[in-house]
Chains A and B, each alone.
Chain A
């Protein structure tokens, strides 16, 4: 996953719900130095019996905000969505460098 262009990750989920799986896995895909490089990661855990749906929103350097639904999306499709935008930003950054 390309994480260079992500500035903000906000998620809330109930760990006792099987549908929180992809939100939790997304957090585990962020690199060890993510926070040191200025990414804001905000994970809120819901109490056990709450039926609130889990949410995941990702903000990018160009200001785009992506609201992903971890209840229905698998981790693969979430990464695909995030990478699609990240690749675009990468292309722009590469062109600016050259």
Chain B
């Protein structure tokens, strides 16, 4: 590790403004109001650059671009946890929500180990499925912070925040948008949506999920909707024999060890959020039971649409065809009549 240079920044700033190397005027000149005591004896090493730096003043409404204004204190662990939860909620299509009742650390380790084994067994190395298995994780969450993050994701639309005016270092006015998750705009949007006596409409995912977020919670996050991986995770974490049988004793002996078993008994799957829709236990099992994954569903849909199109074209064609046929037959009938009439006239004239 390189040594930390404490004075790097002020030196850099001083050299940027090019201070003349003259003998230092004392601090008395700089701060006339504080002359009273000890001014004569004290000399400051930085006095010389400061005399010029004092003319270099940041604008009153200057906001450092790396530290935008926030409604919540940005440097606390809770706020950063909130940010990580919002980004997790925005980026993860499949979240299963568990209640965990006092699992010990060794039990967590055993549960995670068995989960990893099961996920790896359904994925082939070197493909997307291996990546899904690798990035799937079971994590304990802070329930209240997750609740707030869910509100922010649901009610705060960053694209609708109006820009505000701020100054750059040299006093230039620019338009800046502060729409991050800790911003005042996000805070106000959430407050406006959730305060008041009227209960939230059931159409919002937050209103459906918020009763779940009670007590100690853990979430399983999958980076893609992959029913195969979901089924593998379900068979470990919440086995239900016909559809999701627990792994066999021969295949994964660790699963049947008392530590893993007692850990799994304390995990309760209470619900899930899949592609923005909230599902209960049965719904999650239904998604896990989709055989062949999303591709099969897509193929089914394409086949359905194709066959419907075929039927539609034949039906539409049928109408015009029958019309053409009737017209044609009518024409032939008329022609025959005309011919017979002409023949009659010929007979009469002859």
Contact = CB atoms under 8 A, between A and B. Distances in A.
B271 A15 contact: yes
A28 B281 contact: no
Interface stretch (B187-195, B212-220, B229-237): B212-220
B196 to A, nearest CB: 17
B102 A47 contact: no
Contacts of B103: 32
A31 B103 CA distance: 9
A21 B271 CA distance: 15
A20 to B, nearest CB: 8
A24 to B, nearest CB: 5
B262 A35 contact: yes
Interface string B205-216: 000100110111
Contacts of A24: 99, 214-215
Interface residues of B, number: 23
A30 B262 CA distance: 13
Interface in B170-216: 208, 211-212, 214-216
A43 B280 CA distance: 16
Contacts of A17: 211
Contacts of A18: 211
B35 interface: no
A27 B99 contact: yes
B270 A45 contact: yes
Given A15-B211, A16-B280, A24-B215, A35 B99 contact: no
B212 A35 contact: no
Interface in A41-60: 41, 43, 45, 47-48
Nearest to B265: A35
Contact of B102 (A15, A21, A30, A48): A30
B102 to A, nearest CB: 4
Nearest to B261: A35
A24 B99 CA distance: 8
Given A25-B215, A28-B101, 12 more contacts: A15-B271, A18-B211, A20-B211, A20-B214, A21-B214, A28-B99, A28-B216, A35-B262, A35-B265, A43-B268, A48-B271, A48-B280
